[in-house]
Amino acid sequence: MSGMHGRPPKRAMIVWVLGILLGIASTLNAYHFNHNNIIGMLLGIAVTGVWIIWAIQVWHHEIVECWLRIREKNHEAN
């Protein structure tokens, strides 16, 4: 996987965002149109959760680096 180190490719980020939106949309769709469709809702929640977990695994280095940079800036300002 080339996306593991360095900046994630834009295409992968777009796919990730679309995946989360699709998961949320399918969850809301199942809830809105059929209140008894618990399986559809759970499936939507599961899909969204998997996308989020996958993104955290792929980009946790970038997230940590970003957070550390923000902390350094705040530390310098004080």
Q: Tell whether 2 is covered by a domain.
A: no
Q: Quote the CA–CA distance of 27 and 35 in Å, as a whole number.
A: 11
Q: Tell whether 15 is covered by a domain.
A: yes
Q: How many domains does the chain have?
A: 1
Q: Quote the CA–CA distance of 75 and 61 in Å, as a whole number.
A: 21
Average pLDDT over residues 39-64: 79
**Alpha carbon of 30 to those of 27, 40, 47, 68: distances in Å?**
5, 5, 13, 40
- State the pTM of this model: 0.38
Q: Tell whether 60 is covered by a domain.
A: yes
Q: Tell whether 1 is covered by a domain.
A: no
pLDDT, tens digit, 9 for 90 and up, residues 2-34: 445 556 677 777 877 887 788 778 777 766 666
Residue 36 is given by DSSP the state: T
Domain span at residue 23 reads 8-77
Looking at residue 16, its pLDDT comes to 77
Q: Are 24 and 48 in contact (CB under 8 A)?
A: yes
